[in-house]
Structure formats: structure tokens, C-alpha cells
Structure 1
Amino acid sequence: MTHREHKSVVIVGGGQAGLSVSYYLSREGLDHVILERHQKFHSWRVNRWDTFCLVTPNWQCRLPDFPYQGTDPEGFMVKDEITDYLDAFAETFNPPIVENCEVTKITKRAGGGYLVDSSQGNYSTDQVVIATGGYDNPIVPPYAKNLDPSIVQMHSVDYRRPEQMPEGGTLVVGTGQSGVQLMEDMHLKGRNVHLAVGPAPRSPRMYRGRDATDWLYEMGHYHMTIDKHPNPEHAVSKTNHYMTGRDGGHEIDLRKFANEGVSLYGSVSGMEGTKVQFLPDLETNLDDADDSYVGIRKVIDDYIAKHNIDAPIEPAFEKLWQPEQEITEIDCEKEGITSILWAIGFRPNYGWIEVDVFDDLGRPVYQRGVCKEEGFYFIGLGWLNTWGSGRFLGIDEDSRYLVDAIANKAKANLRAVS
């Protein structure tokens, strides 16, 4: 019979979400353990490029009882500052974490609770919190294998600096937050950069005297819960608006980069040999991103007008560049492109969870992180409850809510056996 150590709660994942839950469990006096596949805060510490920085201002860093305490609340912490902040939070309590411990299976236990198997021992537990996030498997489309092997392919998770890429041009695929920032990272180093533009929206950075996120926070946008959202399916599935916190923060207008020599194409649709095919959607994607940008400006304008706020006037938006034609195929050899940098996201891996907490598409089903299977929870995912869920801004509220549910169930369990 397999020996199992018993813990009231097992948390899988040692990032900011898992440790935030641990913080409140510790305050409740509930015994628990955190099982982390690598080191705590691994994604921040390892899976980021050298010039990585926050996209949201530092004041939004609000871990439990540990808000940002630096001297630049409107600035954007760089990679090492972020990990220092996280490490300092962990030092405020003694999280019971087991590092380099991969969870291999979770099943239901006869009579209630769960069995957790891991590379460093097995556990029985009354309750489980999944805090692994959604960044397990880097996405690379199947047709990538058709590309000539002389062209180097890399995913954004492995990118650190422009010097990693071979001499010659690089085609960056994807215009979410990572894609546009990596494009800029290489462009600023004088590299020959090509960009496949997807349907991601963009946002202003500073607008009418303040960071756009400051306005949106004040307007209550970040307090809207998913159950009150007019289009929850769209909210959960859509890509984040792109901008950057680099060098004090600025917006990213891809038309500006086109004027500076970055070659823009539509969405990649296929690859064969040295050739890459694109959909004829570049102009549509640029226009849609600008519509999002202008829409955010308008809601801020309306708020300012409604409340008679004294704020500086901004010039009207103008398109800086228009594509002369839609290019639907290029030959990398002729264009001097020697590498592809994939920045089209990740997929979660829940294959090790053998509990009925998923829908037909393999997505976890919950209400504010609480599953129908008693004592099973998720945290750290986008729109778990609000826009800030999965981000520094909302993790305190989410973790407090889950721990309240965990503590209430633990008390009910005690009453049931007494």
C-alpha cells in the first residue's frame, strides 16, 4: 500500500497565485503544502526575456498585505525587480513549499477528498487548489514542421535577447503583448524584423494626462465581474490589448514601426520549404486594433466630460501608415529571413488531473474558482472573477475568496466527524 502524507489542503503551483492562497491558509491555521514543479516564481524568474517589464503600473501589484512599496508607483518594474518583489512577499511568512516536485496525478479518494501523486512523494488531502496558470505548452502550429530546417524556429518562452537569433531577418509571428514587445526589442537593436500581424487589440498608454489603466481603474472597469460582463465568452477568449512598460511605458502603433522599416504581413496561414503564406487580413487587423485604441480613448473622454474633470486635450488619432497591398506569400530565402519567432501563446496541460472538473473542450468549469466537485479549486486564471484575476491586481481578492470557501468546508468537515 502506497504511503501517503495527509494535508488538509494541497496547492499545485508555486507562483504568486499559489503563494497568495498559502498566505491566507497560514493565517487560518490550516495545514497545507505547495507542490511546485520548478522553483517558486519560476515563470517570472526564468521564462522571461532580458528586457521584460510589467505592462501594468507598479501600483497594481497588490499581493496579500504586501502592496508595491517602491518609489515609482506609476512606473513598470523590470524582470529582476519583479522577482525581488515576489521573493520579499514570500519572506513575510513561511510558505510550506516543496520545490522541484512535479505532480503526476490527482484522483478522487474513496470516502471524500483527493489523492495526489508527485515526483517527491504522495499525499492524501481534503481539498486541492490548482494554481498552475495557463502557460504549460507553447503553441506552434502543425505546418511549422513544413518549413525548411535551415530556418531557425524559436518560441517566445525561449527568447532572451536579439543576439540569440541568427544573423539575418526574423519573422515574429503574433501581435499579442509578447509578440509586439519582442518585435520592438529586436528592432531597437537594429535587427531586420518582419511581423505577422494577428487580430490582437491595442490600447493607449498615456492619455489626457494619465495612464489609460489609471482612468479605467477609476471608472470601475477592472471591478466588473465576469457574471456582469455583457459578453463573457468574448472577454475570456480575447487577447490582451498590447502596449508596453518599457522605458517608462509607451503605446505601440505598428504603423509607426512600418514607417521605421519593419515589414508587416497578415496572419500566417501556412509554410512550405522556404515560403510562408499569409491571410490577406493585414489592413483589417490594423484597423481593428486602432478601433479598440480609439474606443478606449472615447470611453475616457466620455468619463472626463461626465464628471467635468480638468484634463489636457489630446490631438485626434491619425493613421501613420497604410499597406499598399496585401502580401500573401514571401520566400524567406529571398527576403533574408533566417529565423521565425513564435509568439502566439500557450495552452494549459491538465492531463494529470483525473477529476471531473472540465467541460467537453477540456476547460476547467468553476464559479469564482470553486468547482462542483467539493473541495476542488482553480486560481490564477484570466477572468476567474474580474479582469484582474490572474494578475497582480486581483490575486489578493481571489485568494481571500477561495480560502474563505476552503476554511468553511474544513469547518463543515470537522462538524461532520464530531
Structure 2
Amino acid sequence: MSNVQATHYSVIVVGGGQAGLSVSHFLQRANIDHLVLEKHTLTHTWRTQRWDTFCLVTPNWQCALPGHPYSGADPHGFMKKDEIIAYLDGFIGKVNAPVLEDAAVTRVRRGADGRYIVASTRGEFTADRIVVASGGYHTPIVPRMAERLPVQIAQVQSSDYRNADALPPGAVLVVGSGQSGAQIAEDLHLAGRKVHLAVGEAPRCARFYRGRDVVDWLADMRYYDMPVTDHPLREGVRDNTNHYVTGRDGGRDIDLRRFALEGMELFGRLEDFRDGKLRFAPNLRANLDDADDTYNRINASIDGFIAKHGMDAPPAARYEPLWQPDGERIELDLEASGIGSVVWCIGFTPDFGWLDAPVFNGRGHPAHLRGVTAVPGLYFIGLPWLHTWGSGRFSGVARDAQYVVDAICAERANAPDRVSIACA
């Protein structure tokens, strides 16, 4: 939408990724006028913040955006970066959302009349309701110790990493072993680079177990339908680091112990840099063991499911460590190690500073129930575990978007003085 005429809308959606576009899909079905404001271009993050060999870590069949399920020839494969973009382009074309791109929202506040006032770099708008669909990964986390590293050390954050050749010569320190860190460490390792990996507390899971993708098993076990309110950790699960695994080359486990046998240097959590030395916590063994415990625990739950239903499947197996660290190395001389670059893979923090609403906790996360906040007319979507595991993914965002739009319809029905178009 290039020529925006109206300044007031029933709904303004902030963010034009898969979550915002999914909301637009259901708003159009409900015949509700709206505008999507996108800071850059539609699905910008997928196009600009992924490395060259990036691929999905969940099978293609889980790509189920509203009205746009995966229809390719490899439902149990893992789309690569270009294929993901093509899939999203198809979704963009189907939704045909009323969108204003290059419109960074700078402030949203609620006026005395109950309407929301939206200031953006493309002008000011008002709306009866706001759907925040900008995600929860905004500001890259880089520790202050990074400022003390020598200037000749190249430093990039995971969202800026592209490939091994884009980094200067020398060994590479990858900090963090979550989903991105483990895959980037693997990418560098396969490219023949010497990798030092600071291993965090991320769990891992098998790619395939007892003849099937683990995702297929967990889907049958209804794990992906479990609401956050039923999870043993409740809302605490939103803080969990994603399990590391990969869809690369048809999908496989990521086993850091195997990498160690092949020459990758593993350390515990990076804690400091001083006197020319990197300092690590003595927790490498514990972190590896905990990740393997999660791996085996998930597989054991699959064993139980198979046994309960009397299913025919290949025999059960338990992962046994291929390698154990010989003590805990807590120091590494930066110059002697030959490290020429550091890739920070320790996540992001949310930044909703532009939203003036009393819905945030002390960590900057919004309080909500399935995306519905206590503030009238304010909704969120696309956040990790907003409702289920798939809430921030292609697999679950459609269900969340439908729920939020249904909530908007219900609110409109209870506020007839502010309704201009009835929900279908």
C-alpha cells in the first residue's frame, strides 16, 4: 500500500513479519479496516538476518501460515534460506495486506478518548486497537567485556554473520551454543575454520529417533498443542533457550562432543577478558551433560509413547558421550590462540520502549493471556510461547492470529459506539 489516505483505522498492526501478516489475513476475513506498519520491508528479518547456509530446523510440513500451507515436494525436508523467502513471498501475495513500509513506529500512546495515537516516521495515525507484531528479539546482546577486546579482533553478532569467508583470517571464537551459536559453530567448522566455542546451558535434542523425525513424534504426542498454562514451567518456559539441532543436509543431530573430537575447542561459559586472556566458567562438563540429559529425556518420552500405544518402531537407544573434557580450561590467551574474530550468539532483548502502556514486567516483557493484555484494545502476537511452542513460528502463529482477531471482534461487539464495521 503506497498511498495511505486514511489516518484513522479500527486496527493498526505494528510489524510486517509472518505474525503481522497473519493478523491481517484474519482481519480481512472479519472485514475490519486496518493498516500494517512495517519498519523496513515485509518479512525483513528473514531476508537480512540469516547466514548463507541457514535452513529451517523444523520440517517443512510445519510451515502452516494461514491460507498458505507448505505445498512443496519435500514435506519432511528443511527449506533453505532462498526457499523460505520464496514461501514468504507467496504468503505476502496471498494476504495482500494494507501495509505501509519504511514506517518505523516511534511512539504509541492512548489518548483521553480511548483511541491510540501512533507516531511513525511516515506520519501520525490513530486506531481503536493496536496489535504489536514486532516480535521479541530486538536488541542483540553483547556483553560490556566486548569493549575491552583488541581493536584488531573483528566482532559480529549472530544476526550479522553470513559465512566463514566473510570473517578475517584466523581462528574464530563463537560465544553461545543455542540454536544459532551451535549452527554457526558447525558452519565455521565445516568450512575448515578453527573454532573455539564457549558452551552455554542450551539443551539439545535428536533430529531422528526410532525411525522418524523427533518433531513428528512430538506432534503425535500433542506437545505442540500444549498451552503455556499447562507447561510444567508455566510462563518460565518463555525464558528457555531453544534446543540445538539442524536441518542442514537433510537434518542431523548437532553433537558438540563430536566436534571436539574433530578439533573444535570447547570451553564453559565466557565470563571475562582481562590481561590478554579470555576467562571461562568451569562448567563445560556440566553444560554438556545437561544437554545430553535433555536429549535422552525427550527420547525416553517418545519410548513411553510408543510403548503405551503398542507401536512398531526401531529399538530404543540411549546417547552415550563420545568425548569428555579433560579437566576444565578456564583461561585462553587471546593472542596465542590466533583468534581473529568473535561471533556473539547470546540472544536478544526485547525493546518496546516506543509503547506507552502499563503492561510490562521488570524485564521488559508484556503481561498477557494468549496475546490479550489488561489494557483495552492492546494485543501482542508472535512472541515465544505466547500460547504454545509454535507461537513464534510458522507452525503456530495462525492459531494465535485467529484468537487475537476473535478477541478484537468480541471487544468491538461490546463497544458498539466505537465500531464502524461489524465482524463477519
> What's the TM-score once normalised by structure 1's chain length?
0.97
Q: Residue in 2 aligned with 1:303?
A: 305
Corresponding residue SS for 1:235: helix
Distance in 2 of aligned mates of 1:151 and 1:235: 35
Q: 1:294 is matched with which residue: 285, 293, 296?
A: 296
Instruction: Label 1:169 to 1:416 Cα distance change in 2 as closer, same or farther (>3 A).
Output: closer
2:73 partner amino acid:
T
How far has the Cα of 1:4 moved from its partner?
A: 8.0
Q: 1-side partners of 2:371 and 2:147: how far apart?
A: 37
SS at match of 2:35: strand
Amino acid at match of 2:278: V
Match of 1:77 in 2: 79
Cα distance in structure 2, aligned partners of 1:80 and 1:363: 32
Counterpart check, 1:186 vs 2:188: yes
Separation in 1 of the partners of 2:330 and 2:337?
A: 14
Once the two structures are TM-superposed, the CA of residue 415 in structure 1 deviates from its matched residue by 5.2
Cα deviation, residue 234, structure 1: 3.2
Residue 46 (structure 1) aligns with: 48
1:148-171 deviation digits (Å, cap 9, x = unpaired): 212111111111010111111000
Shift of the alpha carbon at 1:325?
A: 1.2
Matches within 5 A, 1:6-405: 6-272=8-274, 274-405=276-407
Of all paired residues, the percent bearing the same amino acid is 52
Tell me, yes or no, if the aligned pair for 2:229 and 2:235 is still in contact at 8 Å: no
The one-letter code of the counterpart of 1:110 is A
Moved >3 Å (runs of 4+)? 415-418
Encode CA deviations 1:93-126: one digit per residue, 9 max, x unaligned: 3200111110000001112121000000111100
Partner amino acid, structure 2, of 1:394: G
TM-score using structure 2 length:
0.96
Residues 363-396 of structure 1: CA distance to partner in whole angstroms, max 9, x if unpaired? 1011100000001000000111111111111101
How far apart in 2 are the matches of 1:146 and 1:6? 49
In the aligned structure 1, how far is the partner of 2:362 from the partner of 2:341?
37
- Unaligned residue ranges in structure 1 (runs of 5+): none
Q: Equivalents in 2 of 1:314, 1:188: separation in Å?
A: 30
Q: Counterpart of 1:388 in 2: which secondary structure?
A: helix
Q: Cα offset for 1:314?
A: 4.3
8 A Cα contact 1:147 1:273, kept in partner:
no
Give the stretch that moved more between structures: 16-25 or 332-341: 332-341
Seen in structure 2, the aligned counterparts of structure 1 residues 412 and 151 have a Cα distance that, compared at 3 Å, is same
Larger mean CA deviation between 372-381 and 146-155 belongs to 146-155
Summarize deviations over 1:184-238 as a string: whole Å, max 9, x none: 1011111111100000000010000000011011001111111111211431111
Shift, 1:272, TM fit: 2.4
Q: Which letter maps to 2:210? A: R
CA–CA separation in structure 1 for the residues paired with 2:30 and 2:318 = 53
Q: CA–CA distance in 1 between the matches of 2:335 and 2:418?
A: 71
Count of matched residue positions in the alignment of Structure 1 and Structure 2: 416
Conserved in 2, the CA contact under 8 Å of 1:379 and 1:399? yes
CA contact (8 A) 2:303 2:316 kept: no
Coordinate RMSD, CA, aligned? 1.4
